[in-house]
A and B are shown apart, each in its own frame.
Chain A
Amino acid sequence: MNAFRKNVIQPILDCWSLLVGLKITGKYFCKPLITVHYPREVIDSENLSTYGGHVELIGKPKDPAMPKCISCMMCVTNCPSNCLTLVKQKAPKPTPEQEQEWAAAAERGEKVVKPKAPKNPAKFTYDYTLCSLCGTCIENCPANSLQFSNNIYWVATSRKEMNIDLLARLKEQATELSAPAPKIEAKPAVAEKEA
């Protein structure tokens, strides 16, 4: 009798679980969709703001086109993937008059004050193909000049494009900031997840 119960009755009763499964999928069939139709809808900005895209420079509060960067090379030396390239600015080449002046000053025994090289970098490029987005550059930046961008829609068609000139990007952003941003057509998707 026990064997009969185990081998015959129980499997028939267990078939109920199949109906339960159908019920669940049927229930979700009737519920609203939860995906985001990308070109027509976009992810809400709250979520987007926490997204860590590629690394970008932060501008000075007063001059958004000028990075806070002081060319200390901390990011470049600490980068595990060697994806950052920074070229420091050289001191301006002295004109002949200046040179004469300095020479004269040196003869007089005065201290020569040569103009220092500007601190902001001459060139700051970043190879996105190499970057592992670990954030080491960001936390090691003494001037807090680096951050993750929220640029989730970034695409490139070639490797060359993946090599981003961060200074040019900062300038672009600065001009965009001053000009009114183009209106985004797509609405943010309504978060309809049931709690």
Chain B
Amino acid sequence: MSAYQNLEQMKGDFYTQKFEAGKQDGTLIINMGPQHPSTHGVLRIVIEVDGEYIVRSEPVLGYLHRMHEKMGETQTWGGFIPNMGRVDYGHPMAWNWAYVGAVEKLMGIEVPERAEYLRVIMTELNRLTSHLLWWGAYILDLGAFTPIMYAFDDREMLLDILQRPSASRLTYSNFRVGGVQMDLDDKCLELIRTFIPHFRERLPMYHDLVTENLILRRRIEGVGIIDEDMCQRYGCTGPVLRGAGVAYDVRKDEPYSIYDRFDFEIPTQDSACSAGRYHVRVAEMEQSLRIIEQALEQLPSAEGKHIMDKAPKPSMKPPAGEAYFAVEGGRGKIGVYVVSDGSKVPYRVKLRAPGFSNMNAFAEAAKGTILADAVAILGSLDLIIPELDR
């Protein structure tokens, strides 16, 4: 009839064949992704379903691998910073910070105080955009179309603010070794000050429209249990871990920069289900607002101190050695490990992506749930596929 009758083509690729070896009788193997609407890009999950129930599943990665770590070994120290904006388009500032922080640690650089505050403000604003993006996309996965538009309404205001100091709207790369690229001007600070009460007013609407919604609560409550033990085994961090009741946040537990000066809480939920992770993220948005407010109050007024004097050039040569720096990103603990052999290019850059660990918990959490739950679990892990593959 057609060329497709060829059995060679019907066999599937390596992963499918490997997966199919353990197939039970009467089950169906389906490929969720890489072009599935709710895998947010090109994550592929091979799922064995018995009717609608998931018997086992296996994520297949590598569709968006861009060799960031290898690129780190060819770029100059400063030239690698733009790459950090591309690793995770959701929360690029935290990645910027992780890398820049590691290099600063290696070189023993003290960042000016104003620059630290600017970093905090911009990272927290970026965390808000990250969580808003997740919020909208998650509800979209669950079948409601409108909330993402409301979330993007607010997110757009944040992007307008963030484009002032960074000149970009998505893949920021404005952190530099020794400070930040541009200073926040007065207009920008004023915009942030007006945004905070505006967003505080909007949050109840989010809760009324979505969080309190009967259908949504039934969809996410008790679905996809990832408890503390599982988190430890898979190395889950961030809202996944906090959703399991562990109050671990790099900002509090290993305070870097000036986070010890702010008064904020770490929201946790004991339910360990998708709803727990949902509530943690929504509560985190409020905490981020609190941090920004305090940072704006304490912001030193020394103009032009956004970057240290005589900041190292992109072609800097850090002393031979190694350094590890971890920050709290929107998805969890972001770690960057750099090794220098004293030359212009890094000897090794290792990126620890939180999404990668979080995603691995999916296969176990999704076992025995139904297909619709798989989408709910996948969404609640807040995966950014470029970050998984790096």
| Chain A residues at the B interface, C-beta cutoff of 8 Å | 11, 14-15, 17-18, 20-21, 24-25, 28, 34, 47, 50-52, 77-81, 132-136, 139-140, 148, 193, 195
Q: Assess A78 versus B86: contact at CB under 8 Å? Given A24-B205, A195-B194.
A: no
Cα distance A142–B161 in the bound complex, in angstroms? 28
Cα distance A12–B173 in the bound complex, in angstroms? 51
Decide if A21 touches B213 in the complex (CB within 8 Å). yes
**In the complex, B343 has a CB within 8 A of chain A:** no
Decide if A20 touches B208 in the complex (CB within 8 Å). yes
| Chain B residues at the A interface, C-beta cutoff of 8 Å | 75-76, 78-83, 85-86, 146, 150, 153, 157, 160, 163-164, 166-168, 171, 173-174, 176, 181-182, 194, 197-198, 205, 208-210, 212-215, 217, 313-315
Decide if A20 touches B82 in the complex (CB within 8 Å). no
Q: Assess A78 versus B168: contact at CB under 8 Å? Given A34-B153, A52-B163, A136-B78.
A: no
Q: Which residues of B contact A51 (CB under 8 A)?
A: 163, 167
Decide if A50 touches B164 in the complex (CB within 8 Å). yes
Identify the interface centre among B157, B163, B168, B213: most chain A CB within 10 Å of its CB.
Answer: B168
CB distance from B201 to the nearest CB of A (A): 9
Cα distance A125–B208 in the bound complex, in angstroms? 53
* 21 A-B pairs in the complex with CB atoms less than 8 angstroms apart: A11-B214, A17-B213, A24-B208, A25-B209, A47-B160, A52-B163, A52-B166, A78-B313, A78-B314, A80-B79, A80-B314, A132-B86, A132-B173, A133-B168, A133-B171, A133-B173, A134-B81, A135-B173, A135-B182, A136-B79, A136-B314
Q: Which residues of A contact B210 (CB under 8 A)?
A: 21
Decide if B82 touches A28 in the complex (CB within 8 Å). no
Cα distance A195–B202 in the bound complex, in angstroms? 10
CB distance from B73 to the nearest CB of A (A): 13
Decide if B313 touches A140 in the complex (CB within 8 Å). yes
Decide if B212 touches A20 in the complex (CB within 8 Å). yes
Q: Which residues of A contact B80 (CB under 8 A)?
A: 80
CB distance from B213 to the nearest CB of A (A): 5
Decide if A135 touches B174 in the complex (CB within 8 Å). yes
Decide if B213 touches A78 in the complex (CB within 8 Å). no
- Specify which of A15, A17, A79, A135 is in contact with B181 (CB 8 Å cutoff): A135
CB distance from B95 to the nearest CB of A (A): 13
Decide if A52 touches B168 in the complex (CB within 8 Å). yes
Cα distance A14–B212 in the bound complex, in angstroms? 9
8 closest residue pairs by CB, A with B: A52-B167, A80-B79, A134-B82, A132-B82, A14-B214, A134-B173, A78-B314, A50-B164
Residue of A nearest to B194 (CB): A195
Cα distance A17–B211 in the bound complex, in angstroms? 9
Cα distance A50–B160 in the bound complex, in angstroms? 8
Cα distance A50–B78 in the bound complex, in angstroms? 24
Q: Assess A18 versus B215: contact at CB under 8 Å? Given A78-B79, A80-B80, A133-B167.
A: yes
Cα distance A100–B314 in the bound complex, in angstroms? 46
Residue of B nearest to A29 (CB): B146
Q: Which residues of B contact A132 (CB under 8 A)?
A: 82, 85-86, 171, 173
Decide if B315 touches A77 in the complex (CB within 8 Å). yes
Q: Which residues of B contact A52 (CB under 8 A)?
A: 163, 166-168
Q: Which residues of B contact A148 (CB under 8 A)?
A: 167
Cα distance A24–B214 in the bound complex, in angstroms? 15
Q: Which residues of A contact B168 (CB under 8 A)?
A: 52, 133
Q: Which residues of B contact A47 (CB under 8 A)?
A: 160
CB distance from A170 to the nearest CB of B (A): 19
Cα distance A35–B136 in the bound complex, in angstroms? 17
Q: Which residues of B contact A18 (CB under 8 A)?
A: 213-215
CB distance from B304 to the nearest CB of A (A): 13
Q: Assess A17 versus B214: contact at CB under 8 Å? Given A51-B163, A80-B82, A133-B167.
A: yes
Q: Which residues of B contact A17 (CB under 8 A)?
A: 208, 212-214
Cα distance A79–B167 in the bound complex, in angstroms? 17
Decide if B146 touches A25 in the complex (CB within 8 Å). yes
Cα distance A136–B174 in the bound complex, in angstroms? 9
- Specify which of B167, B173, B215, B314 is in contact with A140 (CB 8 Å cutoff): B314
Cα distance A59–B216 in the bound complex, in angstroms? 57
CB distance from A28 to the nearest CB of B (A): 7
Cα distance A28–B202 in the bound complex, in angstroms? 12
Q: Assess A28 versus B150: contact at CB under 8 Å? Given A20-B212, A132-B82.
A: yes
Q: Which residues of A contact B85 (CB under 8 A)?
A: 132, 134
Residue of A nearest to B215 (CB): A18
Residue of B nearest to A51 (CB): B163
Residue of B nearest to A79 (CB): B79
Cα distance A140–B82 in the bound complex, in angstroms? 15
Q: Which residues of B contact A79 (CB under 8 A)?
A: 79
Cα distance A42–B209 in the bound complex, in angstroms? 31
Cα distance A132–B6 in the bound complex, in angstroms? 44
